[in-house]
């Protein structure tokens, strides 16, 4: 009987006009010259990216997964040919033996909380999920109302509610972590309504419109597996064996603390009883260009966006310990109002699945070091809050955002009115202001230096009529809730800090991975027999 193995052929280069079939045929031709690999019985695209470093030679770079007859194969020899044996990507845990006296509680229903609760539910633990904000439907209405000039709902908004802050974003599923669980996260998103392409693209995204449906499907799947989700439920106290929410004590065998990076009031309540530290974070502004200008600058021909999708970029520069970089780039998107506290202006970016907006935007953020703040985690939170309040003041204290053209910001001048690039924040609800006055000098100077340097990498990035809107202050949590190698909070028996809000992730995918790992720690410790 023939022995079959699964392989991945990497670095398959083809023109951007190539179909999936063309890419697979190119991979098969390459494999004919690899000894030890015989008849191929199946093949499919495993991953595909775009190499646009040379505008005159933009290509697809793909990996192809295939099953083939195989004899004895030498791993080092395969690697020299750009081929590797596919490893098992299955995620599985064995329930532990410690008695589970009460159902586990998951606090927060962002990516970390969603994946932690999903895996706990899969393994029969029937988790209770407590989310301070509303359901997806409630969030859509609250965000729409605020965008249109209505009142801010401080409990249900861009930061709080089903799906967490990532729901109203571009829905990027990219990450720099090389964790084997990343593939599982992508497959789960696809299984729950994201396009199948998220498992195959090197820079997958879902888009806010589709992501809202995916979050609903997460909700339904967890409920179908015996879990329970309580929205509009604010947690005010967390201890070993209990959680207090909406004034009621809820017993639990373990609690997963997936509170998100904007749960400042809860950080303040936990500060006296949990070990925390200041961690590096970043602040800055949103920059907007015309989508067609970025497409032309990146591709050489904006028409290529019909084949490749609208262009993306990721730029960075470092001087010593401090860096300036672009973050959460949203092709064809908009700048959104992301405040969660009264009297503060916060910006973020989002795109829908088609990325068909007139503008593309990204954060330009500068790193804030612990030494810039103090050793006090509450001082780091206050650093962010102060910027938001100053932005609110500069915007006229109506939730309009302070805005400035790149030309004025770089020159320190005034008078360039908004022209080709129209601000998208709250349908143009901005007020021209001096953004340099918002920040300490080390932030303003690095922002200016970064914009100029990035303009040398992407033509027109530093165009005088590009628009800056502030303030981007919620790039990540400024604090970390310390935990041990067993994922348990230091000094606690069964509280598990998790995800971006606890300081252990930096985006949708890394937070989701941390959610799986924390769920695995709970599963491996406790029995699922109540």
Residue 196: count of CB within 10 angstroms of its CB: 11
Cα–Cα distance measured from residue 272 to residue 241, given in angstroms and rounded to the nearest whole number? 18
Q: Could you tell me the CA-to-CA distances from 299 to 58, 200, 207 in Å, in that order?
A: 8, 22, 22
Q: What is the mean pLDDT of the chain?
A: 95
Does residue 239 sit in helix, strand or coil? strand
Helix residue spans in 59-176 (DSSP H) = 75-80, 111-122, 136-147
CATH assignment, 105-277+479-525:
3.50.50.60
Q: Could you tell me the CA-to-CA distances from 166 to 7, 172, 455, 518 in Å, in that order?
A: 34, 8, 28, 20
The reported pLDDT for the residue numbered 2 is 60
Q: Which two tokens stand for residue 225?
A: 């597996």
Kindly state the DSSP code that residue 438 receives in the 8-state scheme.
G
Each residue's pLDDT expressed in tens, for the chain with a length of 530 residues: 468 999 999 999 999 999 999 999 999 998 888 988 999 999 999 999 999 888 888 999 999 999 999 888 889 999 999 999 998 778 899 999 999 999 999 999 999 999 999 999 999 999 999 999 999 999 999 999 999 999 999 999 999 999 999 999 988 898 877 788 999 999 999 999 999 999 999 889 999 999 999 999 999 999 999 999 999 999 999 999 999 999 999 999 999 999 999 999 999 999 999 999 999 999 999 999 999 999 999 999 888 898 899 999 999 999 999 999 999 999 999 999 999 999 999 999 999 999 999 999 999 999 999 999 988 999 999 999 999 999 999 999 999 999 999 999 999 877 778 999 999 999 999 999 999 999 999 999 999 999 999 999 999 999 999 999 999 999 999 999 999 999 999 999 999 999 999 999 999 999 999 999 999 999 999 999 88
Q: Which two tokens stand for residue 13?
A: 């280069």
DSSP string, 323-388: EEEEEEEETT-EEEE---STT---EEEE--TT---SEEEEEEEEEE-HHHH-S-HHHHHHHHHHHH
Cα–Cα distance measured from residue 287 to residue 276, given in angstroms and rounded to the nearest whole number? 33
φ, ψ of residue 446 in degrees (nearest 5): -70, -35
The reported pLDDT for the residue numbered 180 is 85
φ, ψ of residue 105 in degrees (nearest 5): -115, 135
pLDDT digits (tens, 9 = 90+) for 8-37: 999 999 999 999 999 999 999 988 889 889
Q: Report the Cα–Cα distance between both ends of the chain, in Å, rounded.
A: 47
CA dihedral of 3, 5, 10, 296, whole degrees rounded to 10: 120
The reported pLDDT for the residue numbered 530 is 82
User: CA 486, 491, 497, 502 torsion: positive or negative?
Assistant: negative
pTM: 0.95
Cα–Cα distance measured from residue 195 to residue 309, given in angstroms and rounded to the nearest whole number? 15
163 Cβ contact partners less than 8 Å away, ≥ 6 residues apart: 109, 110, 111, 114, 136, 139, 211, 212, 215, 218
CA dihedral of 252, 256, 258, 259, whole degrees rounded to 10: 30
**Residues 168 and 350 sit within 8 Å (Cβ to Cβ):** yes
């Amino acid at each position: 009987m023939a022995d079959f193995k699964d392989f991945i052929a990497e670095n398959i280069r083809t023109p951007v006009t190539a179909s999936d079939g063309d890419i697979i045929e190119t991979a098969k031709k390459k494999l004919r010259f690899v000894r030890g690999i015989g008849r191929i019985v199946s093949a499919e695209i495993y991953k595909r990216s775009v190499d646009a470093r040379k505008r005159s030679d933009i290509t697809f770079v793909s990996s192809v997964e295939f099953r083939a007859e195989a004899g004895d194969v030498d791993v080092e020899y395969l690697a020299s040919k750009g081929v590797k044996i596919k490893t098992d990507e299955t995620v599985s845990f064995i329930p532990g033996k410690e008695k589970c006296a009460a159902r586990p509680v998951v606090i927060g229903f962002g990516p970390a909380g969603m994946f932690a609760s999903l895996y706990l539910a899969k393994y029969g633990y029937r988790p209770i999920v407590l989310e301070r904000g509303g359901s997806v439907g409630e969030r859509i209405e609250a965000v729409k109302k605020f965008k249109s000039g209505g009142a801010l709902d401080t409990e249900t908004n861009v930061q709080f509610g089903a799906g967490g802050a990532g729901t109203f974003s571009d829905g990027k599923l990219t990450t720099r972590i090389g964790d084997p669980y990343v593939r599982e996260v992508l497959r789960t998103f696809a299984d729950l309504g994201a396009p199948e392409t998220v498992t195959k693209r090197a820079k997958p995204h879902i888009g806010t419109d589709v992501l809202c449906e995916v979050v609903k499907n997460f909700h339904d799947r967890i409920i179908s597996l015996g879990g329970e989700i309580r929205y509009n439920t604010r947690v005010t106290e967390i201890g070993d064996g209990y959680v207090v929410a909406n004034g009621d004590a809820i017993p639990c065998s373990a609690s997963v603390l997936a509170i998100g990076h904007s749960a400042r009031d809860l950080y303040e309540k936990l500060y006296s009883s949990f070990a925390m530290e200041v961690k590096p974070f970043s602040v800055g502004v949103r920059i907007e260009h015309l989508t067609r200008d970025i497409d032309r600058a990146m591709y050489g021909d904006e028409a290529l966006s019909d084949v490749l999708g609208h262009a993306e970029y990721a730029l960075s520069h470092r001087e010593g310990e401090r860096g300036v970089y672009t973050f959460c780039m949203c092709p064809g998107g908009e700048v959104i109002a992301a405040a969660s506290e009264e009297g503060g202006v916060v910006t973020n970016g989002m795109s829908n699945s088609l990325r068909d907006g007139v503008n593309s935007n990204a954060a330009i953020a500068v790193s804030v070091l612990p030494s810039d703040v103090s050793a006090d985690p509450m001082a780091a939170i206050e650093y962010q809050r102060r910027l938001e309040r100053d932005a609110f003041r500069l915007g006229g204290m109506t939730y309009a955002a302070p805005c400035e053209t790149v030309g004025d910001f770089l020159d320190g001048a005034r008078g360039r009115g908004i022209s080709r690039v129209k601000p998208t924040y709250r349908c143009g609800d901005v007020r021209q202001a001096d953004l340099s006055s918002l920040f300490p000098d080390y932030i303003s100077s690095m922002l200016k230096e970064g914009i100029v340097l990035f303009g040398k990498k992407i033509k027109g990035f530093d165009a005088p009529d590009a628009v800056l809107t502030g303030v981007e202050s919620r790039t990540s949590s400024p604090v970390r809730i310390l935990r041990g190698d067993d994922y348990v909070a230091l000094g606690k028996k069964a509280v598990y800090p998790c995800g971006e809000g606890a300081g252990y992730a930096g985006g949708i995918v890394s937070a989701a991975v941390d959610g799986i790992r924390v769920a695995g720690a709970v599963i491996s410790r406790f029995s699922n027999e109540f």
